[in-house]
A = this chain, B = another copy of it.
């Protein structure tokens, strides 16, 4: 049922008949632009005369454009990734492209599966947000032979266009917001001990830079470890920090889910927020504008990230052979101050609350 059944015509045979290199045959077969018309004709004639078939038409499907792009994210049950997926889908839709979403569960093996050729032949390109891969995997990424755009903070300077948040600067600004309110015992929730790459390390760095710039000593006891960045782990870490009686007057959750879990514990223990403890998150997911109190957070430019990633990917798809240098785009961010840090002084939300 596939090409092999016709017999034994190979790409070598086509190249020999057409008097060109195998690479040229491959380029014609794969639809690359910038091939001389006469060369293309010679190759196509040889293909027709010999009855040559590309092995399974997966490549043809891809080169012929499916109108689909892939988006691989760690976890859709994390609201940030669900909302990012939604933004990518809308940005792609505005450009007439459909998105197929794959979830990797932050599991290394599954992050690698997403890259595998068989999975990728259904889409014209991939927007890829790994959480388990790291700098050591740059070679694997360099080996992919389809258009790809990287998201996230695991791999910098890799062999692909890359869109990332302004993690260090945004975390510094978030911490500065807490410092400006007079808080000095600022706990962090969501650190990953021993990690030197990724969002946790970068945001912790921003936190430390803000402390240092304000002459506030760094106290490792205030740094709360959390594995997954979920509401449940945020709640657990908050409870542990409270039990340790550290004189905390503020909490910086390294993402909103962690901060919302912390808010839950503070509410259950009748701790006044922000009176006794101010709370800050990161991501500006929809939920933060509706929690009680509403959650101060960092708006990390999600729509900009989505739009930029789609545009970079489509540019690569349109010029598969182009030898442009890889771009790194850092999204704009802003601190969104709400009730969990400002209390009654928080500006009214655009929701009909009053």
Contact = CB atoms under 8 A, between A and B. Distances in A.
A153 B113 CA distance: 35
A61 B119 CA distance: 12
Interface in A254-270: 260-261, 263-265, 267-269
A292 B267 contact: yes
A74 to B, nearest CB: 11
Contact of A353 (B29, B268, B352): B268
Contacts of A293: 267
A264 B60 CA distance: 52
Interface string A73-99: 001110100110110010001000011
A1 interface: yes
A2 interface: yes
Contact of A351 (B6, B75, B232): B232
A326 interface: no
A302 to B, nearest CB: 11
A53 interface: yes
Nearest to A75: B86
Interface residues of A, number: 67
Given A1-B47, A5-B48, A287-B287, A235 B76 contact: no
A31 to B, nearest CB: 9
Number of identical protomers: 2
Contacts of A2: 53, 57, 60
A246 interface: no
A89 B1 CA distance: 32
Nearest to A6: B51
A24 interface: no
Contact of A77 (B5, B82, B101, B232): B82
B76 A101 contact: yes
Which residue, A29, A51, A264, A267, has most C-beta atoms of chain B within 10 A?
A264
A286 B231 contact: yes
Contacts of A289: 231, 264
Nearest to A55: B57
B235 A352 contact: yes
A236 to B, nearest CB: 5
Contacts of A89: 76, 103, 105
Contacts of A99: 102-103
B1 A57 contact: yes
Nearest to A63: B1
A240 B235 CA distance: 34
5 contacts: A5-B47, A89-B105, A98-B102, A263-B290, A264-B351
Given A236-B351, A267-B292, 12 more contacts: A5-B53, A6-B51, A6-B53, A77-B286, A99-B102, A231-B289, A231-B290, A239-B353, A261-B351, A264-B289, A264-B351, A287-B287
